[in-house]
Structure 1
Amino acid sequence: MHASATQPLLKAVLWDMDGTLVDTEPYWIAAERALVESHGGVWSHEQAMQLVGQSLMHSAGILQAAGVNLEKREIVDTLSGQVTERLRLEVPWRPGARELLDELYQAGVRCALVTMSEGPMAREVVASLPKPYFEFLITGDTVSQGKPHPEAYLTAVERLGETDPELTVDHCVALEDSVPGVASAVASGVVTVGIPHQMPLPDDARRATWDTLLGHGMADLEALVASRASANVPAGAFLGQAN
C-alpha cells in the first residue's frame, strides 16, 4: 500500500453484497413477484425498485401492503430461501468484483461484507469464493437498524478497530450500488464509492461514482482516501465525482 507520512493508508474496504458484489437483484425480484402473485396481487418493476438496498423487514412491510398476507418474518424467510436456492445453482458476480477482491487480499487490505441480506445467504455467497477474502460479515439480522441508517457501516468500522485501534472511517472505503446503501455509507463517514446498477444514483459530491468495478483497482481506492485527506474535509463531505 502506498501513502505518504501525512496521508492515511487504505486499510479496509467494506463491500455491499446485492448489486455490488453479486447481481442477485433479478433473483430477489423474481421471488417477490412469485410471492405477491401467489397472494393474488401484481408486482411491477417500479415496485421492485423500491426494495433495492432496503432492509428485509422494511421490504416485507411493502410486500404486505401489496397484498401478501403473511407475517414479516415469514416473508423474509420465504424470499431469502428462494434466493439462496438460486445462489446454490449459480452465483452471478458483478464485473470486476472478484478481481478487485483478490488484489486487495494479496495486498493485505482488510475486507468486510456489509449487507442487508441475512447471515445464511451471505455465508452462501462467501463460501463460493476461493479464498477467505472477507474478515467478517455484518448482515441485516445482526443490526437493529438497516440501511439507509449508518449502523451497519459503523459496526464494521468498530469491528475493524478492535484489532487496529488507529483505524478510523478515514482509512475505509465503502462500495455500494443503491440509494439506501450509499446513504448508509456516507452517513457513517467512510469514503464512499457508488457503482449504480439497477437504479441511478442522485448527484452527491460526498461520494465518488464509478460506472463499474471493472478496470478499477486498489490504487484507485488509495487515491480516494488520499484525496479526502489532502482536501482536509471532514468525513461525509467528499471530493466530488470520479468516474
Structure 2
Amino acid sequence: MTVPPLPAAVLWDMDGTLIDTEPFWFAAETELVGRFGGVWTHEQAIALVGSGLRDGARVLQQHGVDLLVDDIVAWQTDFVTERLVAPLPWRPGALALLAELRDAGVPTALVTMSVRRMAEAVAAALPFGGFDVVVAGDDVAQPKPHPEAYLLAADLLGVAAADCVAIEDSPPGLAAAVASGAATIGVPHQAVLPEGSRWRLWPTLDGRGPQDLAAVASELRLA
C-alpha cells in the first residue's frame, strides 16, 4: 500500500481551531452591545464566528454600538487578549499535532482574521517553536470567506495552496480554505459545519497525526 506524501504545508485557523477564544469574543460582543443599551444573543454571536473583525464590527454598529469600526476592533482585541493568560485554552489535540508536524519538517502557517498583535501573541505562547508564517486579518483586503488569507499564507511559504492542508472550525473559514484549493478539514466547535464532498469533517484533532492529514489530502484530490 502506497503511503501518501505529507502536505507541503499545513495552514491553521486560530480562534476555535488552535485555541478556544470564542467564549471571550462572545463575551466582548455581549458587553459592548450592552454598554449601548442593546441585547446580544448567543445565536447572533455564533453567526459572526469566523468572520472578519471589521465585518463583525459593522454588525455590532447595526445593533447600536456607537463607535467607529477601528475602535470596535481595537476594544474587542484588547478584551480578548487580556483574558489569554496561562494556562491557555488550546483546543484538544492541536498542540500535539503541531509538534508532530514540526518534527516531521512540515511548514505551518497561522491564518486568522484576528489582528496581527493578537495572532503573534498566541503564536509566541506555543510551548515550542511557533509558526513559520502568520497571516492576520489586518494583512489582507478580503476577509474570510474570501481565500486571500490562505493564498497569501501559501505564497509566503513558497508552496501552492493546492498542495497544503487547511484546518478550520467555522463556515466562513471552511469556505475560504476550500476556495484557496487547499485540502480542507473542518473541526466543528461553536458553529455547525455542513457535510460536503470538497472537505472532510473531524470531531476533534485529538489523536490525529501528520499521516492522517496526508490521507485526507490524498482522498480529496482523488475525489
Structure 2 partner of 1:119: 116
TM-score (norm 2): 0.96
- Matches of 2:86 and 2:71 in 1, distance apart? 23
Report the counterpart of residue 191 of structure 1 in structure 2: 183
1:16 aligns with 2:13: yes
Deviations for 1:102-137, whole angstroms, at most 9, x for unmatched residues? Answer: 000111010000000001111111111122230010
- Percentage of matched positions with identical amino acids: 53
- Pick aligned residue for 1:35 from 32, 47, 57: 32
Q: Which amino acid aligns with 1:145?
A: Q
How do residues 76-87 of structure 1 correspond to structure 2 at under 5 angstroms?
Answer: 76-87=73-84
1:100–1:217 Cα contact (<8 Å) kept: yes
- The alignment partner of 1:200 has SS state of coil
Equivalence for 1:45:
42
Letter in 1 for 2:54: M
**TM-score using structure 1 length:** 0.88
Question: How many residues were matched structurally?
Answer: 223
1:203 aligned partner: 195
Out of 68, 71, 87, the residue aligned to residue 68 of structure 2 is 71
- Counterpart of 1:96, as a letter, is G
User: 1:193–1:210: 8 Å Cα contact kept in structure 2?
Assistant: yes
- Deviation, structure 1 residue 171: 2.0
| Structure 1 CA distance for aligned equivalents of residues 145 and 38 of structure 2 | 28
Aligned with 2:207 (options 191, 215, 233): 215
The offset of 1:189, in angstroms, is 0.4
How far off its partner does 1:191 sit? 0.4
How far the C-alpha of 1:10 sits from its partner, in A, is 1.3
Deviations 1:17-67 (A, max 9, x none): 000000000000001111110111101001111110000000000000111
CA separation in 1, counterparts of 2:87 and 2:55?
27
- CA-CA distance at 1:197 after TM superposition: 0.5
Deviations 1:162-209 (A, max 9, x none): xxxxx3223200000000000000001000000010011112110011
| Alpha carbons 1:102, 1:133 under 8 Å: kept | no
Cα distance, 1:90 vs structure 2: 4.4
In structure 2, what is the equivalent of residue 155 of structure 1?
Answer: 152
> Which residue of structure 1 lines up, in the alignment, with residue 162 of structure 2?
170
Gap runs ≥5 in structure 2:
none
Q: Is the CA contact (8 Å cut-off) linking 2:6 and 2:213 kept in structure 1?
A: no
| Secondary structure in structure 2 of the residue aligned to 1:152 | helix
Please say if 1:145 is aligned against 2:142: yes
Conservation of the 8 A alpha-carbon contact between 1:194 and 1:210: yes
Structure 1 unaligned blocks of 5 or more: 162-166, 232-238
Instruction: Give how far 1:222 is off.
Output: 1.1
Cα offset for 1:91? 1.8
8 Å Cα contact 1:8/1:225 also seen in 2: no
The structural deviation recorded for 1:217 is: 0.9
Distance 1:114 1:13 in 2: 10
| Pairwise CA distance, 1:88 | 3.2
Contact 2:6 2:210 in 1 (8 A): no
